[in-house]
Amino acid sequence: GEDVEQSLFLSVREGDSSVINCTYTDSSSTYLYWYKQEPGAGLQLLTYIFSNMDMKQDQRLTVLLNKKDKHLSLRIADTQTGDSAIYFCAERASGTYKYIFGTGTRLKVLA
């Protein structure tokens, strides 16, 4: 069945770059998403990428997609303490309602 995997924890120093990785199994995935969840809150969409793209950049965020390896990454440049949160990757196939979420990666930014 479909599965999305992420490492559970990542710790970086303020000002460094963070790279959060995600692997998925469903080759029919058309949309791939990154969500951020701050403590005590719901999920907030950060960015998304279509499966026919390799890269998308949005200010400090860079998303890289390796479709052959089914690997997605989110790079946060100049990581700040306000970036501390749980980051979820999710996939969705075209024409379906269903999102498959990863387990989430807890990013801790050290001052």
User: Which stretches of the chain bind another protein, using CB under 8 A?
Assistant: 4, 8, 33, 35, 40-45, 48, 88, 97-99, 101-104
Comparing CB distances to another protein, the nearer of 35 and 72 is 35
Report the alpha-carbon distance of residue 57 to residue 74 in Å, rounded: 10
End-to-end CA distance of the chain, in Å? 40
Comparing CB distances to another protein, the nearer of 62 and 103 is 103
* Interior angle at CA 17, CA 16 and CA 21, nearest 5: 140
What number of H helices and E strands is found in the chain? 0, 11
Comparing CB distances to another protein, the nearer of 18 and 88 is 88
Tokens of 92: 């969705």
CB of 12 to another protein, least distance (A): 21
CB of 101 to another protein, least distance (A): 4
